[in-house]
Structure 1
Amino acid sequence: GSTIYAITDERIIMQRGILGKTYEDIPLGMVTNMSVSQSIGKRMLGYGTINFSTQGAQGRTGSIVWEAVPNPLTVRRKAQEVMDVRVKPKEE
């Protein structure tokens, strides 16, 4: 199958599928935690899984999981940079 991952200045996005498509996104402001997991084999091959956890209304939680991400620690760091810019108060 085909999977596309993207981070914009407002959202974390995942789209799966070729014929039938599944689309998930969450606003950056709802992301409460990002974690990277790599087995030893995946670490040796340079890829891993990134989990973006959210805290929603009425205490509900959710997540978007990106699997088989090349250089996952670099991707996580870039995502954190985007989030830091997004939530940082604007200077006047």
Structure 2
Amino acid sequence: MSFPEELLADQEEIVLHLRGHWKAAVAPSLVLILAVAGLTMGWVMLPPSEGGRIGLLMVVAIMVYYGSRYGVQPLLRWRCTEYVLTTERLLIQRGVLVRERRDLPLNRINDHTMAQSLLDRMFGSGTLTIDSVGDQSAVLAGVPAAQLVQSTLYELIELAPADDEEEPVSEDPARAAGRG
């Protein structure tokens, strides 16, 4: 899935387009598998009597609740979260039904830290916390190749022009060309 180009400025280019690490989808997938297994066991093992049908309805209700709450919902949240690092800003886009997009200009970022648990270090993922001017911060949880993302972010911040820098305006075009 590519990021919509119409959201980018004229000279802006996508450097990294990321989604959360795949390890975030493992536990919800296991919950879904267990919910389907529970449904199947209830259907096969409960007798076809009135009490068995009531028991089966209870098993269906419980498995559908847990499967959707702890399986489908986290999977959708993981699938609908994107981190896009461009030459000018960091875009964080979240949301299944209601889309939330947050932009952090690179020239306003003043600190970024990375945290990795033992499991994160084994998979190469991590959590980036990015602080910007004005006490705003963004947390990118479960970023794949977190060290690469952090070093790329550092390089782009160094290349980003500062807010107070303006293009020098020359009064004499011949003098600006070095002829005067």
Runs of 4+ in 1 over 4 A off after TM superposition: none
Residue 144 of structure 2 corresponds to: 70
For 2:108, give the aligned amino acid.
Answer: M
The normalised TM-score by structure 1 is 0.83
User: 1:26 is matched with which residue: 101, 104, 113?
Assistant: 104
Q: Relative contact order (alpha carbons < 8 A, sep ≥ 6): 1 or 2 greater?
A: 1
1:1-92 equivalent positions in 2, closer than 5 A: 1=77, 2-56=80-134, 61-87=135-161
Structure number with the higher strand fraction is: 1
- Cα RMSD over matched residues? 1.8
Q: Match of 1:25, SS?
A: strand
Question: Identity, % of aligned pairs?
Answer: 30
Deviation at 1:18? 2.3
**Structure 2: gaps spanning 5 or more residues:** 1-76, 168-180
Higher Rg of the two aligned structures? 2
Distance 2:145 2:105 in 1: 23
Q: Match of 2:129, SS?
A: strand
| Alignment coverage as a number of residue pairs | 86
Structure number with the higher helix fraction is: 2
**Structure 1: gaps spanning 5 or more residues:** none
Distance 2:139 2:131 in 1: 8
Q: Match of 2:96, SS?
A: coil
Q: Match of 1:87, SS?
A: coil
The normalised TM-score by structure 2 is 0.45
